[in-house]
Amino acid sequence: MSDISRSARPMTYHPCSAPAPGDGGSTDRASGPPDQGGVRGHTLGVAQGAALLVGAVLGPGVLVLPRLATASAGPASVVAWAGLLVLSVPVALTFAALGARFPGGGGVAAFTARAFGRRASAVAGWWFYFSVPAGVLAGALVGAEYVSTALESGPGGTWAVAVILLAASFGANHAGLRLSGRLQLVLTGLLAALLVVAVLAAAPHLRAANFTPFTPHGWSGVGHAAGVLFFAFVGWEAASHLSGEFGRPARDLPRATVLTLAVAGTLYLGLAVTTAGVLGGRAALSPVPLTELLERGLGPAAHPIAGVAAIFLSFGAVNTYIAGAARLGVTLAEAGALPRPLASWARTGRGLVLPAALTALTIVVTVVYSLGLDTLMRTTSACLAAVTAAGCAAATRFLTGRRRWTAVAATAFTLVVLASCGAYLVVPAIIGLLATVSRRTPSPPRHPHSATTRLTSQARP
């Protein structure tokens, strides 16, 4: 399966970009290829590595997730944020351990193929690939909400901006324009700065009364909030890809991961507490909670600032998601993991025809059935939680000692998150079933050393 950009956000499912685990031992020095963003191999230290990992975890979804979480759990959504942060620790450390043991050793699909065979790897690929239409539409709508609010253009304006953003992203990918790793880091820095300014600007207006009642929807609402919030906690598997870029992955990658956990935790908790404590009841209603927080300190200027920042952030995430899906579709087709009609579409137009068609279909279904961001994000979260669970479960086959028990805990955590997805579990269940019955004879790979060759030669049947 294909290599999805290291800086891809939502995401962040990184299939078979390098040899599967077991091709090399645990070493302190890496021998991976240069990073796509222009950072040469073996040069990353703790700070640089943490910056890239933060870029993999943070994304524009955080601009709207406080509202969705508060709508599910009220002020108790803070508990859901904190709980996911705590439970993310074993997941992050598990992927860091995999990266330290197998520098440049591939991603979820590579590990899943080696641990459980090609069929399981294909299922993981389907989970990511068919979550992309909902994920990119959600990302586009997030940016569009902020722009339409700034322009006061209403729901029609929101959809117009979202469709334009999606068309621009598909067009840029068709023209071969991909965002560099450094530009992705700039966008991540912009998002982090926006969150910090919003929290600092709004913090003086925090009121204890806004935290009562604390659980208006009962404690079950906290679990319901966790199901959508997982959208903000995918991306830890990027550690297994970045490992080849560290000078001393066995030492520095775990440190960078811990630093990333601290940074992401501080930003997320600060945003969650401030949103609930400052906006009160409006936190569950406002489509642009970050704008309202910024407005406390910046006044009317907050609207255009948040709108411009949101559209750039959304474009960056959507562009990277689409690029990854295009590459993944081609290699799923080559591996025989897609039925022939879909495989033909997946190879057409730089791999963009099938994702574009599926995205268009998702737009139609969303409009016809009046689905909202909550539905789109929960659908994507359920699929990505399944992908993460597959990676963590594979790690239990490769790691030993305390690291293996950490992987067991990480697997248990993702299974708990999957359970919190409730009815949305139907989506990865159906996708997994279709992936299982849709395998066919693999097509000859376009390149003798492609990811497909490695997958089919190294994985068990």
With 70 as the cut, is the pLDDT of residue 440 above it? no
pLDDT band at 245 (very low <50, low <70, confident <90, very high): confident
Can you tell me the distance from the alpha carbon of 150 to that of 300, in angstroms, rounded to the nearest whole number? Answer: 10
Residues 391-434: pLDDT tens digits? 999 999 999 999 999 999 999 999 998 999 999 999 999 999 99
Contact 350, 326 (CB under 8 A): yes
**Hey, what domains does the chain have and what are their CATH numbers?**
46-458 (1.20.1740.10)
Residues 150-199: pLDDT tens digits? 999 999 999 999 999 999 999 998 888 766 667 777 888 888 899 999 99
CA distances from 6 to 157, 180, 235, 400 (A): 32, 10, 9, 27
What mean pLDDT value characterizes the chain?
83
Higher pLDDT, residue 8 or 204 = 204
Q: What is the CA radius of gyration of the chain?
A: 21
With 80 as the cut, is the pLDDT of residue 2 above it? no
Give percent of the chain with pLDDT exceeding 70.
Answer: 85
Residues 333-356: pLDDT tens digits? 988 899 988 999 999 888 999 999
With 60 as the cut, is the pLDDT of residue 445 above it? no
Contact 180, 37 (CB under 8 A): yes
Closest Cα partner for 17 from 39, 30, 33, 41? 33
Mean pLDDT check: name the lowest of 1-10, 326-335, 365-374, 434-443: 1-10
Residues 273-316: pLDDT tens digits? 999 999 999 999 999 999 999 998 889 999 999 999 999 889 98
Contact 397, 115 (CB under 8 A): yes
Residues 375-384: pLDDT tens digits? 999 999 999 9
Q: Which DSSP state fits 44? A: B
Whole-number pLDDT of residue 13: 36
| Cα 269–chain centre separation | 19
Higher pLDDT, residue 320 or 76 = 76
